[in-house]
Amino acid sequence: MKEKLKNRILAIILIVIISIGVFPQTKVQATSEPPEDLEDDTLPGGVIAIDSQLDLILMNNSDQHFILTEDIEITGNLNPISNFEGIFDGSSHSITYNIQENTGPFPNTQYLGLFASCSEATIKNLYVNGNISLTTGSSMSNPNVYVGGIVAFSENSTLENVHFSGNINIVTSNDNSSWVGGLVGKASNTTILLSYNTASITAEVESIIGIARTGGLCGEFNGTIEDCYNIGNVLAMTANGSPYAGGLVANNKGTITQSYNSGKVQSKGTSTSLSDVYAGGIAAVGESNSSITKCAVMSSEISITKGWVNNGYKYIIAKGGSKSDNISINSITGSPTNDSNARYTQAELKTTTPYDLSFYNTWSINENINNGYPFHDRNAYANKNMTYQLVPQGLKSFIDNNYISEADLKQTNDGFTLCTKSLKEIFMVMGVDEIRSDQYDADGNRIAFDLDNLDDWYIFNIGDSYSILKMRHGDASGDEEGEEIPGTSIPFLDFDLELIELFHEELISQNDSNSYELQLFNEINRITQGLYSSDYAYSTPIAYYFSESDCQGLYLIVEEYIKKVLSLERNSDGYIEVPESISEEQKNFLLSLPTGIYDEENSRIKVNNSYALTNAEKRAILMCRTGNKSLNNFAAENILHARWTERTGNFLQGTDENLIMEVGWLIGRFEAGQIFTHAIKSDTGIGEENFDKENLYFGFIESDLLQYFGDV
């Protein structure tokens, strides 16, 4: 049953309260326009917003924190960013650039890439499409060249969740040696996580002096590579100096683990070459202190071309270094040295079985994506691995009794845990088809919760507190009386989780008293209907957690909600229906998104790849299902709900007669009671006013969220 407040005056109060802010620690003007100090490029915490080609200049020689807030397509030849020592968060936006040089003896720069060089830097959450082409003329003193799609030369830095596509083609003469990689040319003490390259990479040295170190990810690497992959082809050629071609790294001096290569690897010397030739599915050469573990080679081609008196070395994994627990495809041509620990068919490599990878939160396999090989399906707000030791105590018995598994749990880095198996699914495992009360309806039927009423309620945990939240999909109009508006609802009321297990034990023992079933019915009814005690009590730990601006749980919830909408509503052609009854504001927002996402004529959204959504696609889904324009906007509204509950709840539990809101707004206990009631109902999703969210300014919270989560 859906309840709505009918009091127009109260509705106006609510709008004003939300618009001006209800919390003394938050300062904001009573206006729907953003404060002037939020309109410049500096965000809270000194974070600098980047949204144009010109802005990139700000990062030269800088140690500041930057966030990319728009996709950027660079016109003309890129002038690489140099000497970067700060933080650059791409927030899942993209940068497109070109570098084309056909020079005389000296290239315009030795360092080619989006970043020429970085030290003590962090670059993350970034998609880059680049085309790098360099041809140098002959000279006896050409400098060495370092080329990386993201960074040419990296030292003491971290790259996380960065991706490069496009093409790299480097041809050097005479004294040039080259270090070329899809992500980094040469890396010293660098960490690369959850990243990949799809670009084809070629490096050729035409003169008799000069070496080529060419890798799908890095030319030369020292540090740690984890959960990365390359699918681009790699080719290294030299006239005489040794060519190194590695699927991931040419010359490995570090640690590579849980990563793979599926691109061709070729290393070529000339017919008169006197130097050795090296090719490896993961690394061409591994130095004595290097290691490669739990990696995979899917490429069927690892080849070398030897010269006159040189030797050729081709390994499935690498020549030299420590190697263990690595696997490969069993159809590799050219007979390289078999140093993989196990060989599999292509069909087997398109299942999860052969790999020692985390398919909990990092990797997924789908036959229609990435040629059927593993791809990143990472939720950036959750821990990479979920183990039994990390499971909250109240849910461990659920695992012990096989109601759920660790794979059903997602846990953020700040301790929030969500069970992605619904109450309906949990009760089905128990063999339960309804939860009955001791009451009867007018027809004499026992009132009960049918499992279909619980298919969108999910258990969550914060510290020692448990509750259930709702993720409801379906028609976004909410026009019909009693029809629920799709979206999410997070009650700030504690749920007695133990009653589920006690009820199951009662069921197994065939105890006719059914006392726990009645208690469980009342508990579920209390939460789902937003019932609270007369003392205005609420769960302080839950409300406090969700009121914080760095709350990761809200982002995990919205990501899982989007996944649910996709799994239930995306048709075989990739479309999600948009209700015809959406507001003009919602429609205008959808029309403002990149071309091809919103089909106004057929009232639908196109999602190209449900396993790798763009920010724009996520925003389209949220707008037509919840009315929120972004993940940050969604989080801001829920943070507001939590603070709203805390503020009025605490006031009503005291003895004061009046509550002073921002800018002198004064309300009494009656108004506060109505607001608290509305808050609790809204938190459970059954009493929320259908306000136009375009008129509710969450900007003062959203601006805080930018510094923690970027522009998402």
- Residue-level pLDDT at 111: 93
Statement to judge: residues 479 and 613 lie in one domain: no
pLDDT > 90 fraction of the chain, expressed in percent and rounded? 49
Give whole-number Cα distances, 71 to 53, 74, 589, 590, in Å.
10, 10, 17, 17
Q: What is the pLDDT of residue 611?
A: 73
Residue 644 dihedral angles phi and psi, to the nearest 5°:
-60, -45
Asked, for residue 376, whether it belongs to a domain, the answer is: no
Looking at residue 37, what is its pLDDT? 35
| pLDDT of 6 above 80 | no
Q: Which residues contact 11 (CB under 8 A, 6 or more apart)?
A: 5, 689, 691
Are 584 and 704 contained in the same domain?
Answer: yes
- Determine contact, residues 426/520, Cβ cutoff 8 Å: no
Three-class secondary structure of residue 644 per DSSP: helix
Tally the C-alpha atoms within 13 A of residue 650's C-alpha that lie toward its C-beta: 13
540 lies in the same domain as 575: no
Question: Is the confidence at residue 702, as pLDDT, over 80?
Answer: yes
Residue 17 included in any domain: yes
| CA dist., res. 244 & res. 276, Å (int) | 9
- The predicted structure's pLDDT at residue 39: 38
Q: Tell me, yes or no, whether 540 and 554 share the same domain.
A: no
Residue 526 resides in a domain: yes
CA pair distance 153, 150, nearest whole angstrom = 9
Residue 512 pLDDT level (bands cut at 50, 70, 90):
low
- Within-domain flag for 367: no
Per the structure block, which two tokens stand in for 47?
Answer: 């974070």
Q: What are 53-108's pLDDT values in tens digits?
A: 999 999 999 999 998 888 899 999 999 999 999 999 888 889 999 999 877 656 66
And the tokens for 704? Answer: 């805080």
User: Per mean pLDDT, which range of 22-36, 39-53, 445-459, 543-557 is the poorest?
Assistant: 22-36
Statement to judge: residues 71 and 201 lie in one domain: yes
- Do 539 and 559 lie in a common domain? no
Q: Which of 190-199, 477-486, 615-624 is predicted most confidently?
A: 190-199
**pLDDT 10s digits, 525-540:** 999 888 888 888 889 9
Contact 543, 537 (CB under 8 A): no
- Supply the CATH number for residue 221's domain: 2.160.20
pLDDT, one tens digit per residue, over 375-397 is 988 777 888 778 899 999 999 99
Do 492 and 565 lie in a common domain?
no
Q: In this structure, is residue 379 part of a structural domain?
A: no
- Please name which of 555, 516, 571 lies closest in space to residue 378, comparing C-alpha atoms: 555
Measured CA to CA, the distance from residue 599 to residue 624 in angstroms comes to 13
What's the DSSP call for residue 84? B
Residue 162 pLDDT grade (very low, low, confident, very high; cuts 50, 70, 90): very high
Categorize the per-residue pLDDT at 314 as very low, low, confident or very high, splitting at 50, 70 and 90. Answer: very high
Neighbouring-strand partners of residue 391: none
From 545, 561, 593, give the residue that closes a domain. Answer: 545
Judgement on whether residues 157 and 17 belong to the same structural domain of the protein: no
Whether the Cβ atoms of residue 557 and residue 634 lie closer than 8 Å to each other: no
Distance CA 229, CA 162 (A): 11
245 CB-near residues (< 8 Å, 6+ apart): 214, 215, 234, 235, 236, 265, 266, 267, 278, 279, 280, 284
pLDDT of residue 177 exceeding 90: no
Q: Domain boundary residue among 498, 525, 545?
A: 545
What is the pLDDT, as a whole number, of residue 23?
33
Stretch 288-317: mean pLDDT: 92
How far apart are the C-alpha atoms of 356 and 371, rounded to whole Å?
Answer: 19
- Of 278-287, 479-488, 644-653, where does the model show the most confidence? 278-287
Residues 102 and 188 in one domain: yes
545, 571, 590 — which closes off a domain?
545
Q: How far apart are CA 583 and CA 588, in angstroms?
A: 9
Of 496, 551, 567, nearest to 525 by C-alpha is 496
**Are 501 and 557 found together in one domain?**
no
What is the pLDDT, as a whole number, of residue 709? 80
The C-alpha atoms of residue 553 and residue 542 are separated, in whole angstroms, by: 11
Q: Is 645 left (phi over 0), alpha (psi -120 to 50) or beta?
A: alpha
Cα separation, 303 vs 313, in Å, equals 9
Residues 496 and 435 in one domain: yes
Nearest Cα neighbor of 181 from 130, 153, 215, 229 is 215
Q: Is residue 239 part of a domain?
A: no
3-state secondary structure of 398: helix
Residue 353 lies in a domain: no
User: Which long-range contacts does 450-455 make (Cβ < 8 Å, 24+ apart)?
Assistant: 451/423, 451/424, 451/427, 452/424, 454/422, 454/423, 454/424, 454/427, 454/524, 455/422, 455/423, 455/424, 455/425
Structure tokens given for 366: 């789908």
Domain range spanning residue 703? 8-37+548-709
pLDDT at site 32: 28
Total tally of structural domains belonging to the chain: 3
Whole-Å CA distances, 570 to 377, 455, 471, 563, 576: 18, 18, 16, 10, 5
* 606 and 537 part of one domain: no
Give the chain's radius of gyration (CA, Å).
29
The structure's pTM equals 0.79
Give yes or no for residue 140 having a pLDDT over 70.
Answer: no
Give how far Cα 613 sits from Cα of 229, 380, 400, 593, Å: 19, 13, 35, 14
Q: Which residues contact 584 (CB under 8 A, 6 or more apart)?
A: none
pLDDT one-digit tens code per residue, 626-680: 888 889 999 998 898 888 888 888 999 999 998 876 546 788 888 888 878 877 7
Q: What average pLDDT does this structure show over 42-50? A: 73
For residue 256, is it within any domain? yes
